[in-house]
């Protein structure tokens, strides 16, 4: 199978990039009337070049300094570069800036082409080659071949193809395999209307693959509002030819069903459903360009180029006040508009006036909350996001996600883990105690750092403890009230899941409605304890015809308001059993009643309420709620007018 790669051109205006691409591919990439009229490339153009086992999508970029933003959009997803330098002009300002941008974007492979060599003598060409070697020293092009060419005469074109094929081979799996295992993603660089087909968007597939009929997320961010719409792939093309599927390293035209052309713009993205998430705060590792005279300073306004998007923002340096030229630092980018990014994605920073490239870096946290500057613990965790070990990155991503946590699929975006690897990685880390996983009431699985879970557990226990302190006689409290005290966390299902975890760990007792701390003991005064003892004695003497709780109001005196809580304490201590809202039995009477009913039903075919009333020697007033209680606890079940043992009842 051919290997698909993206080749991007770079170089100063009028150094012959477009002519060289046409000599290589037969395609004139200048498609706009203005480009034809002015004789310069304004926007990015595209061509295809087959080199044996390699199939290259060629992106031709403008060289004028006014169109660097277009060059950056075209450089998205590029696997190797063709740096073009005219032999009659030598190294020029945009030559340097374009090479700097390619380095910031993490390019590792490429070729240098000397163009217009038919216009100079051998001595001049030799001098320019020396300039090129000086320019590329210390860069990924330091050892790259410098191929002399002439698009006018055709000289050197075959040699250039050979050099490009060798560069493709060197790129090997490092380029082709980089995004094969990740979900589909295509930053949009242009859109047009195809007659009879509707809207077509184009871009370089930077990861994954897509097929006709697939559903995708269309990230339609417009200004400060980010929207995600579900769209269907109506058709696909590659360099104008219909295809059934497109994958990483290919140029793709995607025909979208039901999408108006005027709603599409450069900087939007198509991606696998649920893969990307927009954010206006990104944590990153930043570097200042060696040519940036003042480096990067804290709170510097910048233009951020990420994917095909360009947004205004500011750099917040986390570990220093300035990053010197050529240096590195940790930072957060606070953006005017939301962007979509993934872990490790490169970006470029330019000044607010769009005149100079200041630096760039790699995304560490594509969706981030604000971090405190110089906060040692946060910085240590942020630095771990740059670790080679994906497990270390996943643990750091979970810690930095805070109480919000991550779903396993988020780790694909947040730590560069492949979709097939995310679940096994989480299982290993949970088993090792390095991550914790909670199942929320909606059955959504949430991954958190154990430290965050421990802190959440402490807050839930504290909230229940506050309720105990406010109501010391109540043995349990409404679970919703405890959860409401933690509403500032913003995720009620998460708090409920933590409460369930505490019940399972026996630090809380209760059910889905009421809870209490396992170590809590209701606090009764001496008079309240005496009243409780009287109540218990009265119920023991009454047997199965017990008094109503309100009958003790006169005896309670000043403790009348606490009467309900005193009954709750007696139930919690196992002295009384609550059958219904106003019906209690002593523990001994309830046990004897259950035993008598069980014996009666084992001996016969069932019993009516009246028969059970006579068996227990009570009245219908008590017999009916007693039977309902026995049904509720699972001892009996109704079978028409009869009660039978639940275990003895036959199939329906």
What pLDDT sits at residue 179? 61
Sign of CA dihedral 33, 37, 41, 45: positive
pLDDT tens column, 564-576: 888 888 887 788 9
CA–CA separation, 270 vs 232, rounded Å? 11
Contact present, 54 and 5 (Cβ < 8 Å) = yes
Q: Give the list of residues 6+ apart from residue 392 with CB closer than 8 angstroms, or none.
A: 384
615 has a pLDDT exceeding 60: yes
If you average pLDDT over residues 125-134, what whole number do you get? 95
pLDDT tens column, 308-323: 999 999 999 999 999 9
What pLDDT sits at residue 71? 78
CA–CA separation, 406 vs 428, rounded Å? 16
If you average pLDDT over residues 616-641, what whole number do you get? 93
224 has a pLDDT exceeding 70: no
CA–CA separation, 405 vs 221, rounded Å? 24
Averaged confidence pLDDT in the chain: 89
**Packing angle between helix 157-176 and helix 17-25, nearest 10 degrees?**
90
Return the higher-pLDDT residue of 442 and 328: 328
What pLDDT sits at residue 177? 45
Buried b (16+ CB within 10 A) or exposed e, 565-604: bbbbbbbbeebbbebeeebbbbbebbeebbeebeebbeee
What pLDDT sits at residue 529? 84
| Predicted confidence band of residue 558 (pLDDT cuts 50, 70, 90) | low
pLDDT tens column, 166-218: 999 988 654 444 567 899 999 999 899 988 788 999 999 999 999 999 999 99
CA–CA separation, 155 vs 159, rounded Å? 9
Nearest to 284 by CA among 346, 224, 338, 326: 346
What pLDDT sits at residue 448? 96
pLDDT tens column, 16-31: 889 999 999 998 876 6
Angular region, 503: left φ>0, alpha ψ -120 to 50, beta rest: alpha
What pLDDT sits at residue 1? 65
**Percentage of the chain exceeding pLDDT 70:** 94
What pLDDT sits at residue 175? 41
Output the CA angle 481-486-492, nearest 5 degrees. 85
CA–CA separation, 560 vs 572, rounded Å? 19
| Predicted confidence band of residue 513 (pLDDT cuts 50, 70, 90) | confident
Q: What is the CA radius of gyration of the chain?
A: 36
Joined together, the tokens standing for residue 65 give 């300094």
pLDDT tens column, 325-356: 999 999 999 999 999 999 999 999 999 988 88
603 has a pLDDT exceeding 70: yes
292 has a pLDDT exceeding 80: no
CA–CA separation, 528 vs 121, rounded Å? 110
What pLDDT sits at residue 181? 83
If you average pLDDT over residues 115-130, what whole number do you get? 95
Model pTM above 0.75: yes
If you average pLDDT over residues 81-96, what whole number do you get? 94
**Percentage of the chain exceeding pLDDT 90:** 71
649 has a pLDDT exceeding 70: no
What pLDDT sits at residue 172? 65
Joined together, the tokens standing for residue 474 give 């109540």
């Amino acid at each position: 199978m051919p290997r698909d790669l993206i080749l991007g051109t770079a170089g100063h205006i009028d150094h012959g990039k477009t002519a060289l691409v046409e000599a290589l591919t037969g395609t004139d990439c200048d498609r706009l009337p203005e480009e034809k009229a002015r004789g310069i490339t304004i926007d990015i153009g595209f061509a295809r070049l087959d080199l044996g086992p390699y199939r290259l999508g060629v992106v031709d970029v403008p060289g004028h300094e006014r169109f660097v933003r277009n060059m950056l959009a075209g450089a998205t997803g590029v696997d190797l570069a063709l740096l073009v330098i005219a032999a009659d002009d030598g190294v020029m300002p945009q030559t340097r800036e374009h090479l700097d941008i390619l380095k910031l974007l993490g390019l590792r492979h490429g070729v240098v082409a000397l163009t217009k060599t038919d216009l100079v003598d051998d001595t001049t060409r030799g001098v320019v080659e020396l300039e090129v070697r000086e320019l590329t020293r210390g860069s990924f092009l330091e050892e790259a071949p410098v191929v002399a060419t002439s698009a006018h005469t055709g000289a050197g074109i075959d040699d250039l193809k050979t050099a490009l094929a060798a560069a493709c081979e060197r790129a090997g799996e490092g380029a082709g395999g980089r995004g094969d295992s990740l979900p589909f993603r295509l930053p949009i660089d242009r859109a047009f209307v195809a007659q009879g087909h509707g809207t077509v968007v184009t871009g370089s597939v930077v990861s994954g693959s897509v097929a006709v009929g697939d559903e995708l997320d269309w990230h339609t961010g417009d200004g400060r509002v980010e929207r995600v719409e579900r769209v269907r792939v109506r058709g696909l093309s590659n360099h104008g030819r219909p295809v059934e599927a497109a994958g990483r390293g290919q140029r793709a035209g995607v025909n979208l069903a039901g999408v108006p052309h005027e709603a599409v713009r450069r900087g939007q993205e198509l991606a696998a459903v649920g893969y990307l998430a927009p954010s206006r705060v990104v944590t990153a590792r930043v570097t200042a360009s060696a040519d940036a005279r003042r480096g990067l300073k804290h709170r510097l306004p910048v233009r951020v180029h990420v994917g095909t998007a360009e947004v205004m923002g500011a750099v917040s340096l986390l570990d220093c006040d300035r990053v010197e030229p050529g240096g590195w630092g940790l930072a957060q980018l606070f953006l005017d508009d939301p962007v979509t990014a993934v872990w490790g994605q490169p970006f470029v920073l330019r000044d607010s006036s769009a005149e100079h490239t200041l630096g760039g870096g790699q995304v560490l946290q594509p969706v981030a909350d604000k971090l405190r500057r110089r906060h040692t613990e946060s910085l240590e965790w942020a630095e771990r996001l740059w670790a080679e070990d994906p497990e270390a990155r996943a643990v750091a991503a979970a810690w930095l996600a805070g109480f919000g946590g991550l779903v396993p699929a988020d780790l694909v975006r947040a730590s560069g883990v492949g979709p097939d690897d995310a679940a096994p990685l989480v299982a290993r880390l949970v088993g090792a105690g390095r991550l914790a996983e909670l199942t929320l009431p909606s059955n959504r699985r949430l991954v958190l750092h154990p430290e965050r879970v421990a802190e959440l557990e402490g807050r839930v226990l504290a909230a229940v403890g506050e309720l105990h302190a406010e109501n010391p006689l109540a043995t349990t409290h409404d679970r919703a009230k405890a959860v409401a005290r933690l509403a500032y966390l913003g995720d009620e299902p998460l708090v409920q899941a933590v409460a369930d975890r505490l019940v399972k760990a026996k630090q809380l007792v209760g059910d889905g409605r009421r809870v209490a701390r396992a170590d809590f003991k209701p606090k009764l005064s001496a008079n309240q304890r005496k009243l409780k003892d009287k109540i218990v004695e009265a119920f023991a003497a009454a047997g199965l015809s017990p008094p109503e709780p309100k009958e003790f109001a006169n005896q309670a005196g000043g403790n009348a308001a606490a009467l309900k809580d005193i009954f709750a304490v007696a139930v919690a201590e196992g002295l009384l059993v609550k059958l219904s809202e106003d019906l209690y039995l002593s523990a001994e009477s309830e046990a004897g009643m259950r035993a008598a009913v069980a014996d009666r039903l084992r001996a016969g075919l069932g019993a009516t309420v009246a028969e059970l009333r006579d068996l227990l020697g009570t009245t219908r007033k008590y017999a009916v709620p007693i039977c309902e209680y026995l049904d509720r606890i699972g001892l009996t079940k109704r079978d028409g007018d009869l009660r039978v043992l639940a275990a003895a009842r036959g199939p329906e």
